[in-house]
Chains A and B, each alone.
Chain A
Amino acid sequence: MKKTLFDKVWDAHVVDAIENGPQILYIDKHLIHEVTSPQAFNELEDRNIPIFRPDQIVATADHNTPTLNQHLPIQDTLSRHQLEQLSKNCTKNGITLFELGHKYNGIVHVMAPELGITQPGMTIVCGDSHTSTHGAFGTIAFGIGTSQVAQVFASQCLLLTKPKSLRVTVNGKLKPGVLPKDVILYIISKIGTNAGTGYFCEYAGDVFENMSMEGRMTVCNMSIEMGARGGMIAPDQTTFDYVKEREFAPKGDDFDKKVAYWKTLPTDDGAVFDKEYNFDAADIEPMVTYGTNPGMGIKISENIPALDDASFEKSLKYMDFKKGESLINKPINYVFIGSCTNSRIEDFRIAAQYIKGKHKAPNVTAWLVPGSKLVESQIIEEGLKDIFLEAGFELRQPGCSACLAMNDDKIPQNEYCVSTSNRNFEGRQGQGARTILASPLVAAATAVEGKIIDITKQLN
C-alpha cells in the first residue's frame, strides 16, 4: 500500500493496539518546561511510579522566565518557585535541563531543533501545543496535556487514535517580501481555524521544498492554529544539512545510516490523503490579522471583510476595528519580534536587513526577543545587535516573553501590538491588549514607521 510520510513514521512507532480503541504510540523524545510538567511529576510521585526513560526527556525553562537581568534572582515568588520546582524535579530524576542562563537555554521549540535533538522520523511530544514546530523535520510532533505528560513519564508511550491525513500543497514562486509566516497566515485565513481538527497535516509543493528549515518551522509551528494536531514536511537535503554536525545529532557513520533511513520517509507517489487543499504561491502577499483568532487574516493591502456574524462582530469590537476598514496607516505603539514562530536567526536577519540605517518611530516600543541563547549569541556575532540598538530597538534575553505575557512582558490594555507570535486571542499578550499577527518584515516596517504600511509598495 502507498503510504504517506505521516503513516510511515506513525506505523513505525505503534507498540500495540486496543481493539476498537486507541493505539499505543512510542515516543522517542519528550520535551518539558516549567509550566505543564510540575503536576505530572507530582502525580507520578503520589502514585509511586518511577520515570521510565529519563534519558529521552530534555527540559528547558522558557514560558515563565524574565527577559531582562536573567542573572539575578527572579522577583516574582510564584515564578521563581515554578522554576525551582523544575530544577528539583530534573535533578531528582536525572533529566537533562537547560535552565535559565545555561548556554543552551531557550524556547523549547527553538532549542531542540538547533541542538539536533529533533531529527527526522521521530515521535516528539511536549506539553505545549506548538510542538508541531518540529514537524518541519519530517517528525511526528504534537502538543499534549499534563495528564499525558505523566503518561509519557510513566511509560514513554501515549494512547492515541490515529488522526486522519490532510495535505496542503502550495506550488509556484513566492513574491518578494512574502515570508513563511505570510504563507501560513494565508493558508489559515483560507481554510479556517478548525479545518485541521482531527487531522495531521503535510505541507507539500515547491514553496516548502525551497524553504529554509527556519521557514519550515514557522509554517509547521502554526499548524495547531488551523486545528491540526501537527504539521509535517518531508525531510530532504535541506533537512539533512541542517541536522548534520549539530550538538546532539548522530555523527559519522551513524549519521549516514540515519540519512539512508530518512530518505525512505517521504510520501509515496499516489498515496491518498483524507483531505487536500491546493494554493498558488502567486496569490500570497504579506499578511496581517485583524481579529481575535489566527484565521482572521487579510493581505496587508486588503480591507477587513464585512460579515454579519456575532462572533465576528465581538472580535472587531475587542480590536476596535470596523468592517470594511483598511489597516494601512493604523498607528501602532508596540512591536514584538519573538516567540517560537519567528525568533530564529533568519527572522532577525530579515528584520535587521530592513532596519539597517533606519530608526524606529518615536511612539513605538520595539521588543526583540531571541528564541534561545544560541540565537542571541548569533545576533551578536553577526553584528545585528548593533543595527538594532542604533535603530532604537530593545534586544532582550531569550524566552516566550510577550507571546503569552506570563512574565512581565505585557502589552498594556487597549494598545495594538504588531507581533510575530502565533496567537491573537483576547488578552493573549496582556489583559485588554490587541494583537496583530504578522511576519518579521512587516513587524520591522511597522516599528520604523510607527504605523502599519503597505510593505508591498516598498518592495515593488
Chain B
Amino acid sequence: MEKFTTFQSRAIPLDIENIDTDQIIPARFLKATDKQGFGDNVFRDWRYSKNGDLNEDFVLNDTTYIGSILVAGDNFGCGSSREHAAWALAGYGFRVIVSSFFADIFKGNALNNGLLPIQVSPAFLKALFTQLKANPETIISVDLEAQTIAIKDSNLIESFDIDPYKKTCLLNGYDDIDYLLSKKDEILAFEAKSQHIAIEH
C-alpha cells in the first residue's frame, strides 16, 4: 500500500447526502475478477445518461473542478459492502474523501486501500462547500501525522479522528494481513483452547 503522510490538492464538491455504494459503482460493473478499471465507471449513472451521453451538469464532468479530494454530503458510502467502491474512487484518482459522516464498512474499505476518509464537523463541511463554490481553485491540505485538514490561505482548519492503528498503517504503508500473520502463534493458541470453535461443516 502507498504511504500517506501529507497531501494537498484542489477538491471536487459533491453536495449530495446518503451517497450509497450502488451510486459509486453500480452492480453491473462488478463482474471483473481483478481490481483494475473500476475508476472508469465511478458514479457511472450520474456521469453518463442511459444512452451514454456525458451529463455535463454532473460535477465530475465540470472542468471548473479538478483535484484528488472529494468533498461529499453526509453519510457517504452507505449500502452495499462492495470494496469495488473504494477501488473505483481510488482508481479515478481520489486520495481523500471528506464528509460529515461515513458508513462503517466503506470507511474500513477506504482505509484498506490507502484512500483517507476524513470526517469533519457539519459546520466545517458547509464552509468547505461554500468556499469551493466561491473559489473552485481552493487548495485543501491534509496532514495525517497532525490529523488536521485545512483550507489553504484561510484560517479554516479542523482536526480529525483516526484509529491510531490505522494511522500507523497508512503512515508506513503497512496492511492488516502483515500484522495478522505476525500473530499466528496467538491465533493457534486461541484455536487450541477455544471450546466452541467451528465444528466441521
Measured CB to CB, the residues of A under 8 A from B are 12, 15-16, 18, 20-22, 24, 26, 28-29, 35-36, 38-39, 42-43, 47, 49, 55-56, 58, 63-64, 76, 78-79, 81-82, 85, 96, 117, 121-122, 127-129, 143-148, 150-151, 154-159, 161, 193-194, 197-198, 227, 229, 248, 250, 254, 258, 261, 293, 310-311, 314, 404-406, 413, 423, 425-428, 431-432
Contact = CB atoms under 8 A, between A and B. Distances in A.
Nearest to A228: B104
B198 interface: yes
A227 B78 contact: yes
Q: Which 9 A-B pairs have the closest CB atoms?
A: A21-B165, A147-B112, A38-B33, A145-B83, A145-B109, A78-B31, A155-B180, A143-B81, A129-B81
B30 A406 contact: yes
B73 A311 contact: yes
B153 interface: no
Nearest to A161: B163
Contacts of B183: 15-16, 24, 155, 157
Given A145-B86, A197-B103, A425 B201 contact: no
Given A20-B165, A151-B180, A194-B101, A405 B81 contact: no
Contacts of B113: 147
B181 to A, nearest CB: 6
Given A55-B201, A311-B17, A156 B187 contact: yes
Given A159-B176, A250-B199, A20 B190 contact: no
B199 A406 contact: no
Contacts, number: 195
14 contacts: A22-B163, A29-B198, A36-B83, A38-B33, A38-B34, A55-B200, A82-B33, A145-B82, A147-B109, A155-B180, A198-B104, A229-B104, A406-B31, A426-B23
Contacts of A81: 31, 33
Contacts of A154: 177, 180-181
B20 A20 contact: no
A147 B176 contact: yes
Contacts of A20: 164-165
A250 B200 CA distance: 9
Given A128-B81, A161-B163, A311-B18, A431 B33 contact: no
Nearest to A410: B28
Nearest to B180: A155
Given A151-B177, A261-B196, A21 B104 contact: no
A35 B25 CA distance: 13
Contact of A425 (B23, B112, B163, B181): B23
A314 B16 contact: yes
A122 B198 contact: yes
B105 interface: yes
A36 B201 CA distance: 22
A180 B109 CA distance: 31
B35 interface: yes
B197 interface: yes
Contacts of A18: 165
Interface in B164-201: 164-165, 175-177, 179-181, 183-184, 186-187, 190-191, 194-201
B105 A159 contact: no
B91 interface: no
A26 B198 CA distance: 10
B6 interface: no
A148 B108 contact: yes
A293 B164 contact: no
Given A154-B180, A193-B75, A254 B30 contact: no
A117 B201 contact: yes
Given A145-B86, A193-B75, A194-B101, A26 B17 contact: no
Nearest to A293: B18
Contact of A405 (B27, B175, B179, B201): B27
B83 A146 contact: yes
Contacts of B136: none
B79 interface: yes
A12 B20 contact: no
